[in-house]
Amino acid sequence: MTSQPMPRRIALISVHTSPLAQPGTGDAGGMNVYVSQTARRLAARGVEVEIFTRATSSSDAPVVAAAPGVTVRNVVAGPFEGLDKQDLPAQLCAFTAGVLRAEAMHSPGYYDLIHSHYWLSGQVGWLARDRWGVPLVHTAHTLAAVKNAALADGDTAEPRLRVIGEQQVVDEADRLVANTDTEAGELVSMYSADPGRIDVVTPGADLDCYTPGAQEEARRVLGLDPDETVLTFVGRIQPLKAPDILLSAAAPLIARARESGRRLRVLVVGGPSGTGLARPTALIDLAAELGITDAVTFLPPQHHDRLAFVYRASDLVAVPSYSESFGLVAIEAQACGTPVVAADVGGLGVAVDNGRTGLLVPGHAVADWTTALEKMLAQPDQLRAMGRDARRHAEQFSWEHTASQLLSSYSRALQSHAAQGGTASGAQALGRRAARRWRRRRTRMNV
């Protein structure tokens, strides 16, 4: 039996956010965790990983050894600070030049494969793929068409530039990695992607870090009252993630708890990001308007070791996002034995086992969220049972499993690439790719 081809070394491209950044700050979030965790797991299996990301500080070293077998290259492209994600398309030329120059320092064939994350990285990967004669695997993480179809009130739509850029990357990539079957379907229905080029690879959680533990100890570490009921939001503070839904839904429950002599607290962990930067105090102002300031605690983004205490300290973790390709927070919380109440959108239907490890809420009506929260909190025995099932459910989603699925996708990309001419370069190879692109676009136009 012929063994499947495996890459020796991959170039992993993550333009707008570094795996070294703290999730929950700026544009850093689940994608940072995904890139960092999968890179480490791949390296542990003998695949060298070099991650190209944009330098955001003059103090960033050009090259950082992030872990055994994992190197981060901080590419200078534009000013270190003051650039929003929307400004980065203008810096792609400079970033791509940095990537190509790094490869040019080595003998031809140094990288076996490119894996790009998010559409900006896909634009860079597309050019590097043609230059190096290697396959391109792309993970979108989020899709503009999906986000624009489910905008929060007052949020800003993703620009047409991004939609076009995503379409180009979908057309160009040798293989596309989707987090769930739902996302794979969106790639087909909204971007006319070839289903035969899509691999579904579920993200995971660090099951050694996120484990069940004593709630009382976790609350002591965080300085929380051991006798309060704690509802928690973890993530970037922006309309897309909808932390305001949790505050608004919890307000009447906080009032009822006060009347009965009990205490309910909302814990918000994260920092302003994206369109949330326009109103960085919006949640603080909302808590004041709702009259629940004294029942809301805000914490900055937490390192993963301390974040585990956040999950353990919570009675419930809420993920009310308007759009979520998967929902790492939901898996991390469940890995710690904490049930989750989440919006029934995107990949959250996979991340949460509805009725067994948490509850999925259709839509974002505040009254529906109040009802869902109240229903779960009113049944403490069932809540504890959900917590036990939550850990067992989360154990299906490990980064080791994700790495195995990625290696299978890489193998398919390498096999397909070899069948189409291998490492051929120049006009002949570019001509074949141009022909494939034309066939895809003509098919899409005829649909």
110 annotated among ligand-binding-site residues: no
Known binding residue 31? Answer is: yes
Which helix (H) or strand (E) is 393 found in, with range? helix 380-394
* Residue pair 162/144 in contact by the 8 Å Cβ criterion: yes
Distance CA 206, CA 399 (A): 7
Distance CA 382, CA 355 (A): 10
**Is 375 flagged in the annotation as binding?**
no
Q: Is 440 marked within a binding site?
A: no
CA 204, chain centre distance (Å): 11
CA–CA gap between residue 203 and residue 111 (Å, rounded): 24
Question: Does residue 180 have a known ligand-binding role?
Answer: no
User: 174: annotated binding-site residue?
Assistant: no
| Distance separating alpha carbons of residues 446 and 179, to the nearest angstrom | 28
432 known ligand binder: no
Flag whether 443 is marked binding. no
Place of tokens 């193998």: 411
Query: Annotated binding residue at 96?
Result: no
The answer to the question of whether 302 is labelled as a binding residue is: yes
Residue 23 in marked binding region: yes
Parallel, antiparallel or unpaired: strands 63-67 and 70-75: antiparallel
Say if residue 147 carries a ligand binding annotation.
Answer: no
Q: What Å distances lie between residue 87 and 84, 92, 122, 159, 339, CA to CA? A: 5, 10, 16, 12, 38
Answer yes or no: are the C-beta atoms of 337 and 205 closer than 8 Å. no
Q: Is 314 annotated as a binding residue?
A: yes
Is 29 annotated to bind a ligand? Reply is: yes
Contact 201, 164 (CB under 8 A): no
Name the strand (E) or helix (H) holding 352: none
**Residue 11 neighbours by CB distance under 10 Å:** 28
- Is residue 158 marked as binding? no
Ligand-binding annotation for 332, yes or no, is yes
Q: How many CB atoms lie within 10 A of CB 31?
A: 23
Closest of 368, 348, 371, 370 to residue 358, by C-alpha: 348
Q: Which of 118, 106, 127, 115 has the alpha carbon at shortest distance from 10?
A: 115
Flag whether 159 is marked binding: no
85 annotated as a binding-site residue: yes
- Phi and psi of 45, rounded to 5°? -100, 10
Between CA 435 and CA 430 the distance in angstroms is: 9
32 belongs to an annotated ligand binding site: yes
Q: What is the largest CA-CA distance in the chain?
A: 77
**Binding-site sequence positions:** 16, 22-23, 27-32, 85, 118, 142, 162, 236, 241, 302, 311-312, 314, 324, 332, 338
**Binding-site sequence positions for 1D-myo-inositol 3-phosphate:** 16, 27-32, 85, 118, 142, 162
**Binding-site sequence positions for Mg(2+):** 311-312, 314, 338
**Binding-site sequence positions for UDP-N-acetyl-alpha-D-glucosamine:** 22-23, 30, 236, 241, 302, 324, 332
